Amino acid sequence: MNIGQAAKASGVSQRMIRHYEAIGLIPKAARRDSGYRNYDDRDVHMLRFIRRARDLGFPIAEIAQLVALWQNSDRARGEVKALALARAKEMEVKERELRAMRKSLEDLARRCAGGDRPDCPILDDLAIGVP
């Protein structure tokens, strides 16, 4: 299949497929005589694996590790588990940070009466520390 068909079958955009090839995350596709890339079911399966890992928040470097582990039949599942737990912990930290940011924005919005007046506690707060 061509890159457009592989993109549609995997849910990964053509641009990202080219990017993954360029950075070595996936092997370069075989080329037809016409020069067009040629993908098979194994390639689509790998792209789906990568898409799912991205959906779960893994960065490219960790996805490369996961792909290598996935392809290694002698892998230790503990290594995979450790990657997943580390990612979950980082997400927990990020979740706390996002909640704190949301709370700050809600508090600022509560202090703002809205309307047509030019004074604004939200802008005043954002300007704190600006030289």
Q: Looking at residue 131, what is its pLDDT?
A: 67
Establish if 65 belongs to a structural domain.
no
Of the residues 58, 84, 101, the one at which a domain ends: 58
In a domain, 70, yes or no: no
Hey, what amino acid is at 59?
A: P
Is residue 68 situated within a structural domain?
A: no
**Which residues constitute the domain of residue 92?**
76-131
Number of structural domains found in the chain: 2
Are 93 and 54 contained in the same domain?
no
pLDDT in tens, 3-28: 999 999 999 999 999 999 999 999 99
Predicted local confidence at residue 114, as pLDDT: 86
Please report, rounded to a whole number, the percentage of residues in the chain having pLDDT higher than 90.
Answer: 77
| β-sheet bridge partners, residue 31 | 37
- Convert 15-40 to b/e letters by CB count within 10 Å (16 or more is b): ebbeebeeeebbeebeeeeeeebebe
CATH code, domain carrying 18 = 1.10.1660.10
